[in-house]
Structure 1
């Protein structure tokens, strides 16, 4: 059984009488222990696809199944429970709570998934090169540090599936290499990663590359 399946996803946005088709019949599957990269130019629908796959947005057509559970057109409480227990999510908008330190943000995500492990927190902070910011607040972080802290939160519960939007966009080459090695170790452990990326290095380790253009899959 695939970890996540999307069937013929459509998503439209409206601005007055103007309609933009962000997704036009996109289907995909991600299996256990796979790294799948979603590529394409800006505006091709990558971020919208990830939002629909994780239940943060409802598609206008089609549906999504995660670990055998259909999440499309289900209650927000149900979708939130699936996200907390099955997924790690990194969006381009930082997923940090302003009143919590970096460590506390990671702890909270672990708590929501029913697991707190301080050793794992230290390892995560090392992976994203943020041990020096362990007790910093989001407003004290640079843009790159905030992006790396957000990724640590997404990885906090060691999710079976990580869904990440440009996880290496705000990091230097050394940190990107560390993250790529982390994603490889996840694959070896049977865990999966679905990543929207412009990085050739990130795409280079993927088992499959899905290319979008104008809301359609043009290569898989």
Structure 2
């Protein structure tokens, strides 16, 4: 079952001196319970695509459908409501509010989605190996701990879809392995996972690999 689909997406960025075509007619389908790796060189449009798929950004052409309903061309409030209820997002940095503890960051994500669940908070902290760091603030965490805490926040509201941008980009091999195990476990529970990555280990675990280059989907 398709939970997220993109149809012929285009995205332009303008400056006074130039115009960058970041996405050039990208179409894709993300199915329930699959792990898909989005790979390509830096500057290929991976982060831009994730932003359009999540409704954080609007494409200049084409549209996105979330659970069979259009996400594109909705008001920001409506996109945020649908995103909060169905999509977990992990970006490369600033996934946590620095003034809040790990527990409170997870709780805030749940509150925004209207899905408060203290038992799930404890379960997520245990799942990402941060039960003993629940009261720590982001500034007190290592890079590996920040990555795992960000993943817990992204999964806080039990999303149908997880969109992750380089979740293992700055972690060691042991932490990467634990993150990959958790992503696989989410897929087994029916969550659709799309990960932008340069990691060969992550790509090797994926059900499918989508190659993006110069804003277009193509062969490796």
TM-score band (shorter)?
over 0.9
Which residues in structure 2 correspond to 1:13-162 (within 5 Å)? 13-162=13-162
Structure 1 residues not aligned, in runs of 5+: none
Change (3 A) 1:25 1:91: same
Q: CA deviation at 1:47?
A: 0.3
Bigger shift: residues 197-206 or 133-142: 133-142
Aligned to 1:168: 168
Q: Structure 1-normalised TM-score?
A: 0.94
- Which whole-Å deviations, capped at 9, do the CAs of 1:129-182 have from their partners, x for residues lacking one? 333321112233334432322111001122111000011112221221122111
Normalising to structure 2: TM-score of the pair? 0.94
Structure 2 CA distance for aligned equivalents of residues 3 and 219 of structure 1? 24
SS of corresponding position for 1:3: strand
**1:127 and 1:178 in contact (8 A); partners too:** no
Q: Measure the CA separation in 2 of the matches of 1:10 and 1:80.
A: 21
**Cα distance in structure 1, aligned partners of 2:133 and 2:190:** 30
The count of aligned residue pairs is 220
For 2:130 and 2:188, locate their aligned partners in 1 and report how far apart those are by CA, in whole Å.
Answer: 24
Deviation, 1:18, is 0.5
In the alignment, the residues of structure 2 paired with residue 120 and residue 202 of structure 1 have an alpha-carbon distance, to the nearest angstrom, of 26
After superposition, the C-alpha distances for 1:201-220 in whole angstroms (9 at most, x for unaligned) are: 11111111001111111138
Counterpart position of 1:193: 193
Structure 1 runs, 4 residues or longer, greater than 4 Å off: none
Contact 1:40 1:198 in 2 (8 A): yes
Contact 1:103 1:135 in 2 (8 A): yes
- Cα distance in 1 for partners of 2:57, 2:91 equals 12
Note the alpha carbon deviations across 1:76-131, whole angstroms, 9 max, x for none: 11000111110100111322122211110001112222333333323322333333
Q: Which consecutive unaligned segments of at least 5 residues does structure 2 have?
A: none
Which secondary structure state, in structure 2, belongs to the residue aligned with residue 108 of structure 1? helix
Equivalent residue number for residue 8 of structure 2: 8
Partner of 1:163: helix, strand, or coil? strand
Partner-residue secondary structure (3-state), 1:52: helix
- Distance in 1 of aligned mates of 2:156 and 2:116: 9
